[in-house]
Copies of this chain bind each other. A is one copy, B any other.
Amino acid sequence: MVTVLDAGGRPLSHRDVIAEQRSHAFPFGNIGFDLVDLADEALADAESDPAASGSAGVARARLVRLAGQFLEVFNTATLPFYWSDFEPAPGSPDTARLRRAARWFAERGCRVKGHPLVWHTLAPDWLREAPIGEIEATVRARVRREVGDFAGLVRTWDTINEAVIMPVFRNEPHRNAITRLAWERGRIATVRLAFEEARAADPAATLVLNDFDMSTAYECLIEGVLEAGVRIDAIGLQSHMHQGYWGEERTLAVLERFSRYGLPLHLTETTLVSGHVMPPEIEDLNDYRIPSWPSTPEGEERQADEIVRHYRTLLAYPSVQAITYWGLSDEGAWLGAPAGLVRADGTPKPAYDALRDLVKGEWWLPPTRLRTDGAGRVEVRGFLGDYRLYDDGDGGAALLTITAPGRAETTLRLKGER
């Protein structure tokens, strides 16, 4: 319930005011990997080189369109901090480029999340043979450096990724440094050092323990981590559904099991394909390699239906406090899967429209005319987030933030232009 005052501080009684939502507090996320280059202006520079301008111009136009599609639906961008790419040689981190990308998103009202700080896959080759003590020191320094360098820009980190499988990961010819660390020190010690360093470098950051393993093994790990006194801010649940939509029943069962620790749940990596689903006998999704995995009309309808069902289930569950979809475009999608919400040619799939219709339609307050009572009071109902309230004439405007569920009382004083 809002008491609206005019610029002079008097109740604006019996007047039409317009309320319109400006943003969601709930993080509707997606990966922003494709847009890093756009943000970095690398392609813009290439345009000034005549030899490259043709194809670069096309590529840039594609990214500009993709950026528009991103910002239309999503308010949180996950940026890539895969260590082997981020620091291809020791001491040469890709910090400046990623900082520009993070700022680009922030300037467009998008929160930024970093993924991942510690992970065995894409661990740097140059650390592979190091003694274990050196590995630990280098991992600690890397976590400290990235979290410190991005403090205030990256608010949320997948602090450690897939710790359940980490020490016993076998999908590579030589054991990487992170697997060796987790094998020798144990999972919990590895989780602890990642969280310790990240916490110290940015006490305000939200630190997520993230895993794809939805089995009881992840519960066991979480219980161990909590008993060991490591403070984690959210439990990350990947939900790559290349093998088919989980359905409401399984989704709720997963949420029930992982919500019992009293921590927020972040659905960190959600995918639904718009083509055939991967056969169930594939255990490691990375093992499924096919020359072409097309998006089909039936698949796209199914994906649209499933994304609506999935987001409805998640949003209605109190513990769920973030959802990140994994990929906007089919172009360059993980595993070549048609998991994007936009086709490789840039046109939106039905799932894109369906999700936009939820996030910016059903779950969104469009400009809505309300009438204040004699005391200038008016009720504004909506999802948590930022709203703009303005006089229908020239009485000015004010920003309203709904910060918590339930009824609240506030007073706003309109000023400036509508």
Chain A residues near B (Cβ < 8 Å): 164-165, 167-168, 183, 186-189, 213, 215-221, 223-228, 257, 260
Contacts and interface: CB of A to CB of B under 8 A. Distances in A.
A228 B224 CA distance: 7
10 contacts: A165-B216, A167-B219, A183-B260, A186-B223, A186-B226, A186-B227, A187-B219, A187-B220, A188-B227, A223-B224
A213 B221 CA distance: 15
A183 B217 CA distance: 15
Query: Which 9 interchain pairs have the tightest Cβ spacing?
Result: A224-B224, A217-B217, A220-B220, A227-B228, A220-B221, A188-B227, A186-B223, A216-B217, A217-B220
A280 B207 CA distance: 40
A306 B318 CA distance: 52
Contact of A224 (B167, B168, B216, B221): B221
Contacts of A168: 216, 219, 257
A218 B168 CA distance: 13
Contacts of A183: 260
Chain A binding surface SS class: helix
A86 B179 CA distance: 45
Contact of A164 (B188, B189, B213, B220): B220
Nearest to A186: B223
Contacts of A225: 224
Contacts of A223: 186-188, 221, 224
A167 B168 CA distance: 25
Interface centre among A187, A223, A257 (most CB of B within 10 A): A223
Nearest to A225: B224
A139 to B, nearest CB: 18
Contacts of A215: 215, 217
A226 to B, nearest CB: 8
A378 to B, nearest CB: 45
Nearest to A217: B217
A189 B261 CA distance: 13
Nearest to A221: B220
A252 to B, nearest CB: 14
A216 B257 contact: no
Given A216-B217, A223-B224, A228-B228, 4 more contacts: A165-B216, A187-B220, A224-B224, A224-B227
A167 B258 CA distance: 12
Nearest to A213: B216
A309 to B, nearest CB: 24
A213 B189 CA distance: 23
A268 to B, nearest CB: 19
Interface centre among A186, A225, A257 (most CB of B within 10 A): A186
A186 B227 CA distance: 9
Contact of A227 (B216, B227, B257): B227
Nearest to A228: B227
A164 B216 contact: yes
Nearest to A220: B220
Contacts of A219: 167-168, 187
Contacts of A227: 186, 188-189, 224, 227-228
A169 to B, nearest CB: 10
Contacts of A187: 219-220, 223
Contacts of A165: 216
A230 to B, nearest CB: 9
Interface centre among A164, A189, A224, A228 (most CB of B within 10 A): A224
A215 B203 CA distance: 35
A350 to B, nearest CB: 36
A257 B187 CA distance: 13
A366 B224 CA distance: 49
A375 B223 CA distance: 62
